[in-house]
Structure 1
Amino acid sequence: MKQERVGFIGLGLMGKEMARHILHSGYPLTVLAHRNRSPLEALCQEGAMEVNTPADMARNCDIIFICVKTSEQVNEIVCGADSLIDGSHEGLIIVDCSTANPESTQRLAKYVAQKGVVLVDAPLARTPREAKDGRLNVLVGGDTATVVRITPVIESFAENIFHVGKVGSAHKLKLINNFLSLGAAALVSEAATMAAAMGVSQNKLLEICSQGGANSAMLAPVMEWVLQKECTKLQFSLGNADKDMRYLTETLNAYQLFPHMLPPLCKFLTLARDDLGEESFVPQAYDSCIKRNSTASG
């Protein structure tokens, strides 16, 4: 069987670990620098090959993974100057691991199909810690034949792979997943703020809530910041969280759905981002809660 030639664009906290697992699994790997060259240089020392443009990568690869922040960046990589499409060939597969706007994903998939290229969405769940361990959860949207072909590569960095439907469906489900998780994180931040204001032990809050119906996957990561000022369990930026909920809002508007809980969550995340900066992590939103309640009470 032919060995797939793999490309990777977006060597951030998640991407650099994913790319490393692909390389160490024996796939010929091509990488492209964005802003920070240090992950690229480390991968090249381990055997990866650098190219200068997305077009160059497309000419030399069979499957290309993209892991960047926004749909706008994905569009630029795929369709901009010296883009993947400029260097594409029949049968090229583009795997978008970003958390993107589903409408943009579907529109882009239709465009590249005219060039004989297949685009699938494969957003990620879990954190950089699981990425380092090769234990990510990956949601995939695309036709069955393409998913079967890319699955061995994804298995190099994933513990669980979920084929959730046609292209665009994975990005939709990822946004809904993030709504649930970010909503839980916001509730924990406000609960810890309530405890502080009312003189209730935050340690006891964690102890009691972790043993009952108030427990969630967000409780321990947020309380790690509240109690220890450490953020090792959830390194997901407020900028990305705010962006994801904006994409969900735009998607729901297209379906003429009017949620009640999403708008206050968006406001919470925007305020926290404005207070702390977009690179701060979601658990640190607790500091914004404390600051704004102190200002209000003062």
Structure 2
Amino acid sequence: MTKEHIGFAGLGLMGHGMAKNIVEKGYPLTVTAHRNRAPVEDLLTRGAVEGSLETLASHSTIIFLTLPGSPEVAEAVARMSPHLRPGTVIVDCSTSDPTVTERLAADLAAKGVHFADAPLSRTPKEAWEGTLDCMVGATDEVFARIKPVIATWAGKIVHIGGVGDGHRMKLLNNFLSLGYAAIYAEALALASKVGISTATFDSVIRGGRMDCGFYQTFMGYALDGNREAHRFTLTNAYKDLRYVESMANAATVTTTMASAAKNSFAGAMAQGGAGPEDYVPHLVDFVGRANGVK
């Protein structure tokens, strides 16, 4: 059987580590750069080759996308579409709007091209180590084909259902994690306001029933000052919660909690938290500032 030739677009915080694992575990890999040359140069030293999106489309049998959101995914697919060969699989690992995912899949199916959604969970650290979590929306046949490649960078792979279901589950996952972040930030602001230090707060929560892995990475900044404890931007968090609202609107579900969490991130964005190094744990600063505490 001929080995799959992999294309990869989106070499950001997550994509760089994912692509590194693909090429180091033996798959031919073609990558494309956007703004940051450093990940490309690193991957070239590991055996990857560089090409345009059009080159990815014409030379790859499976193409992975890790882009900021649905508009960028749709733009990339539009550029690749004239050059795609029947039988190619495009795998969207971004956190995207499921309605866009389904539309793209239908458009590509008419060309004999398959589409799958395989969004991620965890952090760039796990991407580099090859131990991400991945939730996949695909037909059984496509899932069986792409799973060995996903396994180069993911330790936990769950086939959620058909196309779009991976993105639906990812939005639910991010609703939980970003909801936690909004609660933690507000709780810490309130604690400070009533005279309870962050260290004292943590001494009660850590190791108890309210502790979890997300809490620990969030507190890596709030308690220890590590600005890179969880490198997921406030901009992407805000975008994801808007997608959650959109999904709920389409399903006629009230979003009492999701909209409250979204508004917490909207407040941070309004205060200037849209920079490339403004990460989710930094929400504590913006919520604190809005309440007159540090």
Normalised by the size of structure 1, how large is the TM-score? 0.95
**Counterpart-to-counterpart distance in 2, 1:226 and 1:60:** 46
Percent identical among aligned pairs is: 40
Residue 269 (structure 2) aligns with: 273
1:173 lines up with 2:169 in the alignment: yes
Residue 287 (structure 1) aligns with: 285
**Counterpart-to-counterpart distance in 1, 2:22 and 2:84:** 21
In structure 1, the gaps of 5 or more residues are none
Q: Output aligned runs, 1:83-102, within 5 Å.
A: 83-102=79-98
Residue 12 (structure 2) aligns with: 12
Residue 150 (structure 1) aligns with: 146
Moved >3 Å (runs of 4+): none
Residue 218 (structure 1) aligns with: 214
**Counterpart-to-counterpart distance in 2, 1:160 and 1:213:** 24
1:130 lines up with 2:129 in the alignment: no
**Counterpart-to-counterpart distance in 2, 1:189 and 1:104:** 32
Q: Output aligned runs, 1:98-247, within 5 Å.
A: 98-247=94-243
Normalised by the size of structure 2, how large is the TM-score? 0.96
AA of the residue aligned to 1:292:
A
AA of the residue aligned to 2:137:
G
| Bigger mean CA offset, 208-217 vs 68-77 | 208-217
Preserved contact between residue 13 and residue 231 of structure 2 (Cα < 8 Å): no
- For this pair of structures, how many residues does the alignment match? 291
**Counterpart-to-counterpart distance in 2, 1:281 and 1:232:** 8
| Bigger mean CA offset, 253-262 vs 13-22 | 253-262
CA RMSD of aligned residues (A): 1.2
Residue 264 (structure 1) aligns with: 260
**Counterpart-to-counterpart distance in 1, 2:121 and 2:214:** 13
In structure 2, the gaps of 5 or more residues are none
AA of the residue aligned to 2:287:
C
**Counterpart-to-counterpart distance in 1, 2:266 and 2:7:** 34
Q: Output aligned runs, 1:67-82, within 5 Å.
A: 67-79=66-78
CA-CA distance at 1:212 after TM superposition:
2.6
CA-CA distance at 1:120 after TM superposition:
0.2
SS in 2 for 1:2: coil
1:40 lines up with 2:36 in the alignment: no
SS in 2 for 1:228: coil
**Counterpart-to-counterpart distance in 1, 2:208 and 2:20:** 39
SS in 1 for 2:187: helix
AA of the residue aligned to 1:30:
T
**Counterpart-to-counterpart distance in 1, 2:39 and 2:220:** 28
**Counterpart-to-counterpart distance in 1, 2:7 and 2:23:** 10
**Counterpart-to-counterpart distance in 1, 2:214 and 2:133:** 17
Preserved contact between residue 221 and residue 231 of structure 1 (Cα < 8 Å): no
SS in 2 for 1:261: helix
**Counterpart-to-counterpart distance in 1, 2:77 and 2:96:** 14
AA of the residue aligned to 2:72:
Q
**Counterpart-to-counterpart distance in 2, 1:166 and 1:197:** 48
**Counterpart-to-counterpart distance in 2, 1:258 and 1:195:** 30
Preserved contact between residue 185 and residue 288 of structure 2 (Cα < 8 Å): no
**Counterpart-to-counterpart distance in 2, 1:217 and 1:276:** 28
SS in 1 for 2:73: helix
**Counterpart-to-counterpart distance in 2, 1:152 and 1:225:** 35
**Counterpart-to-counterpart distance in 2, 1:6 and 1:218:** 32
**Counterpart-to-counterpart distance in 1, 2:223 and 2:10:** 33
**Counterpart-to-counterpart distance in 2, 1:108 and 1:133:** 31
1:248 aligned residue (244, 248, 264) = 244
CA-CA distance at 1:211 after TM superposition:
3.0
**Counterpart-to-counterpart distance in 1, 2:219 and 2:45:** 39
Preserved contact between residue 134 and residue 157 of structure 2 (Cα < 8 Å): yes
CA-CA distance at 1:44 after TM superposition:
1.4
